[in-house]
Amino acid sequence: MTAAVQPAHAGCVPWKSAGAVISKNSLVPGNVIYKKVQAKTGGKVISATLCENGNNFVYKIVVLGKKGDVKNLTVDARTGNF
């Protein structure tokens, strides 16, 4: 079984490389978003990127649900809302 993982997009950086962008722009840290998404969805984060569009930052997150379902979420990187 293969999960539908989003391809990399222009203006996006992998989760592991996003630290400098997060600090520079006072964004919600990745680990906080990770915990919030897992708690709210009950699933497991399998992929995450931080994307910039102009002055807007969002986390694009792929979550594997308990029943094997795959969810694509967009989380506001300034507020943590999704």
pLDDT digits 0-9 by tens, 4-29: 444 455 689 988 889 999 999 999 99
What is the three-class DSSP state of 22? helix
Residue 50: which residues within 8 A CB-CB, separation 6 or more?
Answer: 12, 13, 15, 18, 21, 22, 27, 30, 57, 58, 59, 60, 77
pLDDT digits 0-9 by tens, 29-79: 989 999 999 999 999 999 999 999 888 999 999 999 989 999 999 999 999
Class of domain 12-76: alpha beta
Tell me the residue type at 17: S
Q: Which of 35, 38, 20 is nearest to 50 (CA)?
A: 20
Kindly list the strands in the beta sheet with 12-14, ordered across the sheet, starting from the edge strand earlier in the chain: 12-14, 44-53, 56-64, 70-76
